[in-house]
C-alpha cells in the first residue's frame, strides 16, 4: 500500500514536471502575398538563423513544406476557406487532403497543427455551420493515419467573434455563433486535446479607439492599469485583457457546463494566439485621414499608431514575455501558450494598396534585413 502510494505521488510529480516543462513558444506567420520574397529554401535558413522554432502557414505549399524539412521547426499548415465545405461534406476529401498535405511530409517536416480555415466567422460566415464538421473530418483522417497524437486541429478566430470585451469578465461569444458553433467546437477541442486559436490585435483596438485606449496599455506597459469592475483584477496590458476576455467568453458561454460534461473534463481548452503583431507604417483604413487626439502620444499634429518604434516595443514585449515563460494573465496566471507574430515579411500584395498598413507588419523586409531589432533566442532586446 505504501509502495503504491509512493508510485502515485511520483507519477503525479512527473506529470506536473512535464506539464510545466512544455512551455509556450513564440514564432511567426509566413505569408507569401508578395511578388518580391526570397525562395522557400532561403526563408527556411533565415528562420533557423534567427532561432525561430514555430511557424504558421496560410496554405500547405509543397515547396515551403519541403524547404522546412529537417530543420526542427514546428509547422502549422492551413486548409483554405475555399476547401472547407468539401472537407465538411466528405470524409474521403478530408482524408485525401491530410494525406497530401500532412502525412506526405511528416515527420521530416514537423507538422504539428492543421488550421481548418482562417477567420471563418469574419471572412466566410456562410461556412459557419460547416466549420466544426470539417474539423471533425480532418481529425478522423489524422486518427486513421496514426497522426492524431502529433498533429492538433484548430481554426484561427478573429477577435470580432467576441462581444462586450471592454470588461474582460463580461466577454461573450456573439449570439450568432455561441450555441451553434462555439459549443460543439469547444467540445471538439477539449476531446482532442487541442487549443482555441485566437487573433487578438491590440494594435487595431488602439487604432480604432485612441481616445479611450492609452498607447502604453496597447504596448503592454501601462503602469496605472485598468481595473475589471466585476473581478477587481488589474490589467497593465491590453493583450492580457483580450486573452482573458477569450477565457471568460468560454467560461461564460451558456451551455459551457454541457461542454465539460460531454468531454468528461472540468476545464476549457488551452489558447493559442495564431496571429498577433504591430504595423510599422501605413494607414489602418487607406483613403481615410489619420485620426487625431490619441492618449499617450506626445503633443503632435496627427495620429499614427503604425511606427517602427511602436512595433519594436510591442513585438519585443511579446517575444520576451514568451521566452521568459510569462504568458500567464491576471485571470489565468499559470497559462502557457504559443504566440505567432504576424508576420515574417512585409507583403506588398496585401490589403488595398501601397498605403495599407497590412503590407507593413513584417519583421523582415523582403531582402531579409530586419525592420527593427529583435531576438527569438532570449537576448531581451531593449524597447
Catalytic residues: 119, 275
How many CB atoms sit inside 10 A of residue 288's CB? 8
CA distances, 140 to each of 15, 77, 85, 314, 337 (Å): 27, 17, 16, 39, 25
Radius of gyration of the chain (CA): 21
Say if residues 329 and 243 touch (Cβ distance below 8 Å).
yes
Where residue 239 falls (left for φ over 0; alpha for ψ -120 to 50; beta otherwise) is alpha
List all residues 6 or more positions away from 232 whose beta carbon is below 8 Å from its beta carbon. none
How many angstroms separate the CA atoms of 176 and 181, rounded?
Answer: 8
| Three-class secondary structure of residue 177 per DSSP | helix
List all residues 6 or more positions away from 369 whose beta carbon is below 8 Å from its beta carbon. none
Amino acid at each position: 500500500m505504501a509502495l503504491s502510494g509512493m508510485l502515485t505521488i511520483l507519477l503525479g510529480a512527473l506529470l506536473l514536471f512535464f506539464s510545466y516543462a512544455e512551455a509556450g513558444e513564440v514564432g511567426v506567420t509566413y505569408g507569401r502575398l508578395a511578388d518580391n520574397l526570397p525562395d522557400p529554401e532561403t526563408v527556411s535558413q533565415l528562420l533557423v538563423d534567427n532561432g525561430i522554432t514555430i511557424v504558421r502557414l496560410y496554405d500547405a505549399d509543397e515547396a515551403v513544406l519541403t524547404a522546412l524539412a529537417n530543420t526542427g521547426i514546428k509547422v502549422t499548415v492551413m486548409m483554405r476557406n475555399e476547401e472547407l465545405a468539401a472537407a465538411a461534406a466528405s470524409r474521403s476529401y478530408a482524408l485525401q487532403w491530410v494525406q497530401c498535405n500532412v502525412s506526405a511530409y511528416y515527420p521530416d517536416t514537423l507538422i504539428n497543427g492543421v488550421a481548418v480555415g482562417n477567420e471563418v466567422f469574419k471572412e466566410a460566415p456562410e461556412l459557419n455551420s460547416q466549420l466544426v464538421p470539417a474539423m471533425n473530418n480532418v481529425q478522423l483522417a489524422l486518427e486513421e493515419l496514426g497522426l492524431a497524437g502529433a498533429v492538433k486541429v484548430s481554426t484561427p478566430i478573429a477577435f470580432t467573434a467576441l462581444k462586450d470585451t471592454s470588461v474582460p469578465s463580461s466577454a461573450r461569444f456573439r449570439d450568432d455563433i455561441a450555441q451553434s458553433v462555439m459549443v460543439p467546437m469547444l467540445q471538439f477541442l477539449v476531446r482532442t486535446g487541442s487549443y482555441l486559436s485566437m487573433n487578438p490585435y491590440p494594435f487595431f483596438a488602439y487604432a480604432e479607439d485612441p481616445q479611450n485606449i492609452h498607447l502604453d496599455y496597447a504596448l503592454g506597459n501601462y503602469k496605472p492599469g485598468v481595473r475589471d469592475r466585476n473581478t477587481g483584477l488589474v490589467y497593465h496590458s491590453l493583450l492580457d485583457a483580450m486573452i482573458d476576455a477569450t477565457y471568460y467568453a468560454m467560461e461564460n458561454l451558456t451551455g459551457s457546463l454541457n461542454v465539460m460534461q460531454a468531454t468528461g473534463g472540468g476545464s476549457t481548452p488551452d489558447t493559442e494566439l495564431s496571429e498577433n503583431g504591430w504595423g510599422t507604417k501605413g494607414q489602418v483604413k487607406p483613403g481615410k485621414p489619420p485620426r487625431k487626439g490619441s492618449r499617450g502620444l506626445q503633443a503632435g499634429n496627427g495620429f499614427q499608431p503604425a511606427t517602427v518604434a511602436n512595433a519594436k516595443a510591442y513585438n519585443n514585449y511579446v517575444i520576451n514575455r514568451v521566452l521568459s515563460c510569462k504568458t500567464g494573465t491576471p485571470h489565468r496566471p499559470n497559462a502557457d501558450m504559443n504566440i505567432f507574430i504576424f508576420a515574417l515579411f512585409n507583403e506588398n500584395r496585401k490589403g488595398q494598396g501601397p498605403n495599407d498598413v497590412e503590407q507593413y507588419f513584417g519583421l523582415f523586409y523582403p531582402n531579409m534585413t530586419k525592420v527593427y531589432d529583435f531576438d527569438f533566442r532570449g537576448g531581451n532586446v531593449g524597447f
